[in-house]
Amino acid sequence: MASRVPQVDMPKQAPEERRHNFDEVATGYSEEQALTEASRCLSCRNPQCVKECPVGVDIPGFIGLIKERRYVEAALRIKETNSLPAVCGRVCPQENQCQMNCVQGLKGQPVAIGRLERYAADYERNNGVQKPKTVPRGVGRVAVVGSGPSGLTVAAELQRKGHQVDIYESLHAAGGVLMYGIPEFRLPKKIVQAEVDYVRSLGVNVHLDSTIGRLLTVGELFKGGYDAIFIGSGAGLPRFLNVPGENLKGIYSANEFLIRTNLMKAYRFPEYRTPITVGKHVAVIGGGNVAMDSARCSLRLGGEKVYIVYRRGKDELPARLEEAENAEEEGVEFMYQTNPVRFIGDDRGYVTQMECVKMELGEPDASGRRSPSPITGSEFLVDVDTVIVAVGQSPNPIIQQTTDGLEVTRWGTIVVDEETMSTSISGLYAGGDVVSGAATVISAMGAGRAAAAAIHVYIEKGRGYSAK
Ligand code: FAD
């Protein structure tokens, strides 16, 4: 039976205000709002929402604790299977996962599970994070490559099971895309660091500035005494359009643009010494979360006209609906069924225009989305002085190239057994974007949980390192 109480909206900064600052857009529920929203949960005996959560959070359980105003316990209930609740409460695509099957959603709006998860996690952080119980001394030693959601999940799960985990991270800050990609106004970095600190507090060591495949290889880590290794190195290698003029000045890959802006804090230049140049007319190519984040950063960095240029239609946008709506409210303009075919520059090598072609959509392709093809004679020019290419990422190949016997696909992703996340090398596991290609935070965490369970069994069986 649908609740008569409507879903409680998320309070947000007004669009005209927020498009000029990097403060968090969504400001979070008040206690009263959280209690009202929690009251909409029917505490189903056979909760469909949990089935859709890749890490199996006890959703009715934690919402029940919120109803009883036991907020810290609610956060701890989530943390039993999810070490990053404040992150997931902010960036998970709940609309396609837990909330999709919520009974309330059949006739009305689903319970806003993510917003309640965020409320509980924020409450716990603001009222003193509970120290985890002391765990038994290490049974095995595990190295984790990469400190993104998959690596942090593996580390937390195995450390809780009594193993000693060392994370190796190539950047100077832990968190993966949560730190270097997703902007402050969507996911404040102090929140990411608080969740990384929680994982550290379990006893996990985090070695920053340590690129595996350069500092040490996977083989050398095994020789150094690790019983098992997990690769969670993500998909941080930008793809390009491969059209004429793409190397003109003023054209960025989204990775470079977002790393400069977020990790290196260019938006606080000169306090932070990383400059970034954003012109008045910005075109962002792509329709995913990366494109939305790039467009919304561009607005905040001074872009007056910011376009999303996407080759399919609105219905096919891969970005979270909420983030596309936020972008639109802030003034980002969407050019659908449009594709750039070349970039044109001035005599100093700076981009000044892009030539685009209109696209028509045919039958759905293998991905289920309608495949676009260019309409002959529909070419037109758009004035631009900054372009950000956000058309996808692939795994960085360093580990694959330096690990003999590791099976990879032709896209550079690592081949694993889907149940155990084990690779072609005994004792070596992988998960997250380096296996699936660019996906989501929670799917990377789900892979991390599966790998941690399998690594635990592997170590208990006492097997050593040998190629299969
Ligand atoms: P990553 O988060 O990529 O972490 C990998 C880590 O490994 C990095 O820190 C990297 O520096 C490190 N590393 C790489 N190679 C090495 C090496 N050789 N040695 C040591 N360390 C190494 N998902 C959502 O669910 N919701 C969103 O709203 C959302 N928005 C996004 C916005 C942007 C801009 C981007 C880029 C992605 C977004 N995603 C979103 C996708 C999501 O962030 C990723 O799917 C997720 O972070 C993948 O986790 P991971 O652990 O596999 O890898």
Tens of pLDDT along 356-406?
A: 999 999 888 877 778 899 999 999 999 999 999 999 999 999 999 999 999
The tokens of 310 are what? Answer: 């996407």
Mutate to test the pocket of ligand 1, among 177, 196, 401 (most ligand atoms within 8 A of CB): 177
How far apart are the C-alpha atoms of 175 and 189, rounded to whole Å?
Answer: 9
Residues 6+ apart with CB under 8 A from 315: none
Q: Please name which of 143, 294, 117, 139 lies closest in space to residue 229, comparing C-alpha atoms.
A: 143
Q: How far is the CA of 49 from the centre of ligand 1 (A)?
A: 25
What are the residue ranges in the chain where pLDDT is below 70? Answer: 1-3, 131-138, 463-468
Please state the pTM of the whole predicted model. 0.94
Residue 364's pLDDT is: 84
Alpha-carbon span 420 to 455, nearest angstrom: 8
Look at residue 466 in the predicted model and tell me its pLDDT.
43
Q: How far is the CA of 433 from the centre of ligand 1 (A)?
A: 7
Sequence-ordered alpha helix ranges (H) in 173-275? 177-180, 189-201, 218-223, 254-258
Pocket of ligand 1, candidates 289, 292, 442, 443: which has the most ligand atoms within 8 Å of its Cβ, to mutate? 289
Whether 194 lines ligand 1, by a CB cut-off of 6 Å, is no
Distance in angstroms (rounded) separating the CA atoms of residues 53 and 77: 14
* Strands ordered across the beta sheet of 333-335: 251-253, 386-389, 281-285, 305-309, 333-335
Q: Omega into 270 within 30° of 0, i.e. cis?
A: yes
Share of the chain above pLDDT 70, in %: 96
